[in-house]
Chain A
Amino acid sequence: MSDHSKSSPLPTYFAVFIALLIGTGLTVYAASLDLGPFNAPVALTIATIKATLVALFFMHVKGASEKLTKLVVVSALFFLLLLLGLTMADYATRAWS
């Protein structure tokens, strides 16, 4: 996990930290609004952005020296989306048959 830049990573850490807190407040606020069918997508989008920030900057996936690490991360995500996507494609379309 090498940091090739000479500058301190601390400003990035604190910026991500503030962004995560703002995202949390935003999620709670958005839940109090009536967005129709978009309440869930908005909440999940904000959650995904937060998770991506944690993974890229706190877990040092961004700038990782080993490309295999990034491949493992992407693979885990791919198989999770496969699980959720294909399962929901089955259940969510049952009314159509």
Chain B
Amino acid sequence: MPDSPTAAGLHTEEHNPALLHHFAEPQQQRDAASLGMWVFLATEVMFFGGLFCAYLIYRLKYFGDFGAASKTLNVTLGATNTAVLICSSLTVVLAVWAAQTARRTLLIGSLAITMILGLVFLGIKGVEYNDKFVEHHVPGASFSFNNVPIPGHPGQYADPHHAQLFFSLYFVMTGLHALHMIIGLGIFLWLLIMAWKGRFTPEWHTPVEIGGLYWHFVDIIWIYLFPLLYLIDRHP
């Protein structure tokens, strides 16, 4: 991330101290930073895309079994987590706007609330993971999924092997997402410290914008994870 350069070397014309010398003007510098982050997010789309692809293949292949497994997830907690992340995306855009308009208190407050919401999300996820552990739905030696009826097909029971496949995908996908949340929390802690030290100005607040892009992306991933994992077959 570009830092404000010290006045080393000759400045033949006046320019914003935040403008680095290999850029012609501030807008170009901002665009370059944003473009860099978007290219990284494109790789992240591929990263999660592979997992989504695997999930789609097996969901179509073992639809009934996946429906039975999905029904054991807690929709209330999942929907709450979705709302939590949506709120955090709002506080992120508020933080960027606060940086753009030199509102220090709002900037620091928004960054802090974003982090708190992120921690709430991880806490709820922890509760859900614990539920899965208690119910023996964690793939491995102690996995058991016997006599669970397939939704909409009375008399038919889910194949435990296929159900275990669902939970493997569930833990890897939500686990990878949670890892991205933890990294996001680290990034936002750094942003919070920088904001507290007064390093962000309306002329230069690039890390807030770039960190915001990352956070929104993690939110988008969850926007897709929630219906795909939790809402396969919920109608009576």
**Residues of the A chain whose Cβ atoms lie less than 8 Å from the Cβ of B31:** 1, 64-66, 68-69
Complex contact B38–A51 (CB within 8 A):
no
Complex contact A46–B220 (CB within 8 A):
no
Complex contact B224–A76 (CB within 8 A):
no
Q: Given B57, B89, B213, B226, which contacts A91 in the complex, CB threshold below 8 Å?
A: B57
Known: A46-B227, A51-B223, A87-B57. A66 touches B49 (CB 8 A): no
Complex contact B223–A47 (CB within 8 A):
yes
**B171 sits at the interface (CB 8 A):** no
Known: A44-B227, A47-B227, A66-B34. A88 touches B220 (CB 8 A): no
**Residues of the B chain whose Cβ atoms lie less than 8 Å from the Cβ of A75:** 42
Chain B interface, number of residues (Cβ within 8 angstroms): 50
Cα–Cα distance between A79 and B39 once the two chains are bound (Å) = 13
**Residues of the A chain whose Cβ atoms lie less than 8 Å from the Cβ of B219:** 54
B86 to chain A, nearest CB (A): 5
Residue of B nearest to A72 (CB): B38
Complex contact B53–A13 (CB within 8 A):
no
Interface string of A58-79 (1 = CB under 8 A from B): 1100001110110011011101
Range for the number of chain A residues in contact with chain B: 35 or more
Complex contact B227–A72 (CB within 8 A):
no
Dominant SS among interface residues on chain B: helix
**B50 sits at the interface (CB 8 A):** yes
**Residues of the B chain whose Cβ atoms lie less than 8 Å from the Cβ of A65:** 27, 31
Interface string of A27-49 (1 = CB under 8 A from B): 11001111100011001101100
Complex contact B231–A43 (CB within 8 A):
yes
**Residues of the B chain whose Cβ atoms lie less than 8 Å from the Cβ of A66:** 31, 34-35
Within 8 A of A (CB), among B92-108: 92-94, 97, 100
Q: Hey, which bits of chain B sit against chain A, CB under 8 A?
A: 27, 30-31, 34-35, 38-39, 41-42, 45-46, 49-50, 52-53, 56-57, 60-61, 75, 79, 82-83, 86-87, 89-90, 92-94, 97, 100, 209, 212-213, 216-217, 219-220, 223-224, 226-228, 231-236
Q: Provide a sorted-by-A list of 26 A–B residue pairs whose CB atoms are within 8 angstroms.
A: A3-B100, A9-B97, A10-B97, A13-B93, A14-B90, A17-B89, A20-B86, A20-B89, A25-B79, A28-B75, A33-B235, A39-B235, A43-B227, A43-B231, A44-B227, A47-B227, A55-B216, A59-B217, A68-B35, A69-B35, A77-B45, A79-B46, A80-B49, A84-B53, A87-B56, A88-B57
Known: A39-B233, A58-B92. 19 other contacts (CB 8 A): A13-B94, A17-B89, A24-B226, A25-B79, A31-B227, A32-B236, A34-B236, A39-B231, A54-B223, A64-B34, A72-B42, A76-B46, A80-B46, A80-B49, A83-B50, A84-B53, A88-B57, A88-B60, A91-B57
